Each structure stands twice: as C-alpha cells, then as structure tokens.
Amino acid sequence: MSKRVLLKLSGESFADSETNFGISPNILTNIANQISKANEEGIQIAVVVGGGNFFRGVQESAKGMAQANADYMGMLATVINAVALKDALDKNGTQTRVQSAITMTAVAEPYIRLKAIRHLEKGRIVIFAAGTGNPYFTTDTAASLRAAEIDADIVLKSTRVEGVYSSDPEINENAELYSQISYKDVISKKLGVMDLTAITLCEENKMPIRVFDGTQNNNIYNVLTGNELGTLIN
C-alpha cells in the first residue's frame, strides 16, 4: 500500500452523468466519503481537480478568445470544484486544505510545497487547485508536477473507463484493456491517457500512474488503499 498518493479527479467526476455539467451533491458526497475513509486508514492523500464540469459548458463562449484567457477561466473552474470537495470532506470531519496556484487568499492558501507536505504529514487532505497557475498546461500536467513535488508514491488518475485501452472503448467494443503498459508505449501508440507533458514528467521522475474507473462504486477508496484496479503505467 502506498503511503502518500496523488489522486487526479476530472471536473466531470463531480457532474451528473447525463448533463456532464455542474456538481451533483450525491456524487460529490460519495467521492468525499471514499477519500475520508481512506484517509482514516493513514493514507496521505493529495488531490488535483479539473474544471471540465464548468468550463466545457462555456467553451463555445471561449471560441475566439486568447488561449491564455480561456485557460485562466478553466483554472478558476478548478477552484470551484476544490472548494466544493473541501466542504464535503469538512462535513465528514476530515481536515482539508485547499492550495491554489493562483493567489486568492480569501478562498485558499497559496501553493507552498513544504506547507503542503506538512499538511499531509499531519493527516490532512490537500487539494491543489488552479492547475500549475500557468496557461497552456493541463490539470493532468499539474497532477504529475505536484506528485513529483510532494514526493508521492503514485499518481491515481480517475476516469470514466476501466483503464487504458488499445483504442477508445466507447467507440471500439473490441478495444483491449491493458493491465500494465510502459510510458513509451502510451506515447508511441498515442493512447491519449494524459497529455505528453504529463506522461513525460512522470517518466522522468519514475512516477507510476494507475488509471482506473472512478465512477464505479467504491473504486476510489479501493485504489487509494492499494487495490490494483485498472492499468498501471510505469
């Protein structure tokens, strides 16, 4: 079992599966309950959240915008999700801190690496918001970067499918599920699990990635506590 993990949740993880927009209170509570339960077992958990459940909905409006401005809007969406997740964890009595890569002291602590590590050592959940704080980088890259910075044992990437497939399983029913695959194969086969920067960062830092289906009942808790679901990239 890993002692310190980084859990990557997409913004869509929080949304109702039919609309893929906003935050479903039931889904949010379910995710928070699984994280709290794993935290009670002594796992140090950092979380990076995406913002797709809000920003995908306004992407039409962002067409024609400067890329940097659109990316900043996406970062702000991740802060909404981070504060919502913190609230749900607080209700469980789980001590939680939100650290934002964009300074907004009324809402979150600024991201400080050593402070984040100290929170984790004290058994607090740390939620990293606003990606890397820079446009042109995805929240997957933020997850890889933060995992390396806090010296996590593994990145756990929650998705809507069982793991890494040879092709898109939602399109090709004969797609093959890998139980294990190398970073190089993910890149060369263009499997699109994470963006190139995120995968390369993990490879350079020898950071394993486990890709799993976070929508299935209790899978987040199971993976946090060491169950080998989905696909291991190493």
* pLDDT, tens digit (0-9, with 9 covering 90-100), for 162-199: 999 998 888 888 999 999 999 999 999 999 899 999 99
Q: Count of domains in the chain?
A: 1
Tell me whether residue 17 is in a domain.
yes
Is residue 68 included in any domain, yes or no?
yes
* Tens digits of residue pLDDT in 108-125: 999 999 999 999 999 999
**Could you tell me if residue 111 is inside a domain?**
yes
- Tell me the whole-structure pTM to 2 decimals: 0.95
In a domain, 113, yes or no: yes
**pLDDT in the model for residue 57:** 55
At residue 19, the pLDDT reads 84
CA torsion through residues 162, 211, 110, 99, sign = positive
Spatial CB neighbours of 10, under 8 Å, sequence gap ≥ 6: 50, 52, 53, 139, 158, 159
Could you list the residue range(s) of the whole structural domain that residue 115 is in? 4-160+215-233
* Strand bridging mode 154-159 / 125-129: unpaired
Per-residue pLDDT of the chain (234 residues; tens, 9 = 90+): 779 999 999 999 999 888 889 999 999 999 999 999 999 999 999 999 999 999 865 566 677 888 899 899 999 999 999 999 999 999 999 999 999 999 999 999 999 999 999 999 999 999 999 999 999 999 999 999 999 999 999 999 999 889 999 988 888 889 999 999 999 999 999 998 999 999 999 999 999 999 999 999 899 999 999 999 999 999
Asked if residue 169 belongs to a domain, the reply is: no
Element (H, E) at 149: helix 139-149
Spatial separation of the C-alpha atoms in residues 178 and 180, rounded to whole Å: 5
What is the H or E stretch that residue 46 is in? Answer: strand 44-49
First to last CA, the chain: 17
Q: Is residue 176 part of a domain?
A: no
pLDDT at 8: 98
Q: Is residue 101 part of a domain?
A: yes
CATH of the domain at 156: 3.40.1160.10
pLDDT for the residue numbered 49: 97
Total Cβ atoms within 10 A of residue 161: 17
What's the alpha-carbon Rg for the chain, to the nearest Å?
A: 17
61 vs 198: CA distance, rounded Å: 27
Q: What is the rounded CA–CA span in Å between residue 102 and residue 81? A: 15
Handedness of CA 26, 38, 44, 232 (dihedral sign): negative
At residue 167, the pLDDT reads: 87
Residue written as tokens 């969406």? 77
Q: In the prediction, which pLDDT does 59 show?
A: 61
Residue 181 lies in a domain: no
Written as six digits, the tokens of 98 are: 């939100």
